[in-house]
Chain A
Amino acid sequence: MTCQEIRDQLSAYMDKMLPTAQMRVIAEHLSLCPHCRGELQQLEETVALLRQVGEVEPPPDLTDAIMDKIQTVAQEDKGAAPIWRRFQNRKYYGGLIAAAACLLIAAIIVGRGLPSFKMAADGGLSEGITEDVGDYNALSLPRIAPGDMRLEMDAVEEEGKDFTPARAFGEKRMARMVSKEAHLTLLVEDVDREFDRVVFLVEGAGGFVQNSGTWEKGKQRVSNLTLRVPVDRFSDILAQLAELGQVEGRELGGQDVTMEYVDTEARLRNLKRQEERFLDILQRADTVEDILQVEGELERVRGEIEALTAHLKNLDDLVGLSTIDMELRQLKVSARRIAPPSLAGVMTAALKASISTFNDILYFFATAIVIGGGIIPFLPFLLLAYLGYGWYKKKRAGEGK
């Protein structure tokens, strides 16, 4: 054994806390090694010194203070609402706020899938309360009268006999097959600057510029842009675009392509079945003449399938991306003229702003109530979790932590 190993055990040796054999080995080493002996002595002296240190006296009122505290807490525990009493403690505020925030986020995430939230998001709220956006929303769902739909369906059914599953599919999409369009003419001070802003805005929203051009018309600079934007951001983007300048003209339109879509789909299905049938026949054809004839037919059918598929894709594109035609025209600014804002204009703007804010507030509360309602089903679980946590803590304390 090296001296270091011996020294590591001297403390235990001193307290006779080593096995007998070990004790003997160390005793033997100590009788031979003055260094380790010195080490042991230092340890013994240190400990002796520590033992000389007396106890400090606790404050004389400590016993009573502790008993008082115990009585107070015991009383509180018996009190009517211990949970609420505990929440009065500032120590818990941080945790509570964090828990509430988590809950809110969870509720929003889960809530998006729940009908209560959807109801609010889909219309209940926005239709009733919002003012400006309502104009655009109104055009988003020009629903097809059920009667019309049935007629169209019947017509289609004559063509394909196994149309039933597809019909359900068609019906589901039908209400949404609208391609939205808008024309917006803006007067702006600096056409090129606003042009850049439009591009930036549209691209930021996940859309793109399909066509654009700028030229001088007379002495006026004019830009034309054809914008394609995701349909769900349509109204939103339109409102933002309108803020870039003075709106000279605005036109909104929607084209219902539902029937066209269903029709094309049905024809496509039929053609595909025909294709299969021709392939089947081709297998069984034995004369060259037959084969050539069937192949000719196949080619025709395949060509039609391709055309229809492309058409469908085009329709999808039209519906998924709305079109905004935009014209930016330079505002003629005459430098000499002073144009103070009219009082009436200011008042109107102020009124508008106040209505808009009021609507925002109402919308906020409505949303809060909806989310609150959405949370209620979670409450029993939360209560359970809280009780479980309390029980666990108590148990831990019971074990001496």
Chain B
Amino acid sequence: MKSDAELVDLFKKGNQDVFRQLLERYEKKVYNLAYRMLSNREDARDISQEAFLKAYFALPSFRGDAAFSTWLYRIATNLCLDLLRQRKNKVVFSLDEPFQTEEGVLERQLPTCEDGPETIVEQREFQRLIQRLIHTLPAEQRLVLVLREFQELTYEEISQTLECSLGTVKSRLSRARSALGKKLLASGEPFAFPHRLKEGKGGNRV
């Protein structure tokens, strides 16, 4: 198994077939990043495609100042932010997202081909809730949160990806986490903090 840097080197030397390996390695990560940012699988697909396309053609001029992954994430996050900015004034209907009516929030009921036990249904609803709440955060906060909690990047890597200072990462992440915590509590969903009872975390609480 070759490292990213070795593959990039090979690519630059003209062996462009190795790009497939890089793609396979990061496709899921990039797709997830885009999905968490945009809450929409169609957009996530488009953004992933565009990000790798850009990466492919820009790779020859990639200087290796940061890790390949960081560089790739930067391309993807910029594409996401561009799209969000473009969409700011447009109404977009998402298949995954609940939509607002005059009587309140309606979940879209989509037929699913995956039959499964209740746990899967529960898991799905939990996923949806989280995604919906994340989506209400401002894009910048959402981005830091996604990179940290889903992509599991270090603070250092996040600051390189977003080209901002460590302090900014810290404060944005802090705001995003606490805002999300409050939203979770306010949502009042039974599975919002299921482990609170199960695990009995934080001894002084019941």
Give residues in A with beta carbon < 8 Å to B: 7-12, 15, 17, 34, 37-39, 41-59, 62-63, 65-67, 69-70, 73-74, 77, 394-395, 397-401
Contacts A67-B20, A70-B19 hold; do A45 and B181 have CB atoms under 8 A apart? yes
Per-position binary interface string of chain B over residues 73-90, scored 1 when its CB falls under 8 Å from any chain A CB and 0 otherwise: 011001000000000000
Tell me whether B52 and A401 are in contact (CB under 8 A): no
Knowing A11-B173, A56-B32, A66-B23 are in contact, say whether A398-B204 is a contact too (CB < 8 A).
no
Q: List 17 A-B contacts (CB under 8 A).
A: A7-B178, A42-B181, A42-B185, A44-B202, A45-B201, A49-B192, A49-B193, A50-B149, A56-B35, A58-B45, A59-B41, A66-B49, A69-B53, A70-B52, A74-B56, A398-B58, A401-B75
Q: How far is the CB of B187 from chain A (nearest CB, A)?
A: 11
Q: A400 to B196, Cβ gap below 8 A?
A: no
Q: Which residues of B contact A74 (CB under 8 A)?
A: 56
Given contacts A49-B184, A62-B27, contact A17 B170 (CB under 8 A): yes
Cα(A48)–Cα(B184), bound, Å: 12
Cβ contacts under 8 Å, B166 to chain A:
17
Per CB-CB distance, the 8 closest pairs between chain A and chain B, nearest first, are: A398-B61, A11-B174, A58-B31, A46-B181, A41-B202, A400-B74, A50-B149, A397-B58
> How many residues on chain B are close to A (CB under 8 Å)?
54
Q: Given A38-B205, A45-B196, A395-B61, A400–B49 Cβ distance below 8 Å? A: no
Q: How far is the CA of A390 from the CA of B32 in the complex (A)?
A: 31
Choose among A51, A53, A394 the residue that contacts B127 (Cβ–Cβ < 8 A).
Answer: A53
Give A189 to B201 CA distance when docked, in angstroms.
101
Closest-by-CB residue of A relative to B79 is A401
Cα distance A254–B115 when bound, in Å? 99
Closest A residue by C-beta to B149:
A50
Residue B24 CB within 8 A of the other chain: yes
* Chain A residues, CB < 8 A from B139: none
Evaluate whether A65 and B74 lie within 8 angstroms (CB atoms) in the complex, with A45-B193, A53-B127, A53-B150 already known.
Answer: no
Q: Contacts A37-B204, A50-B130, A400-B71 known; A55 to B32 CB distance under 8 Å?
A: yes
Could you tell me the distance between the alpha carbons of A58 and B171 in the complex, rounded to whole angstroms?
31
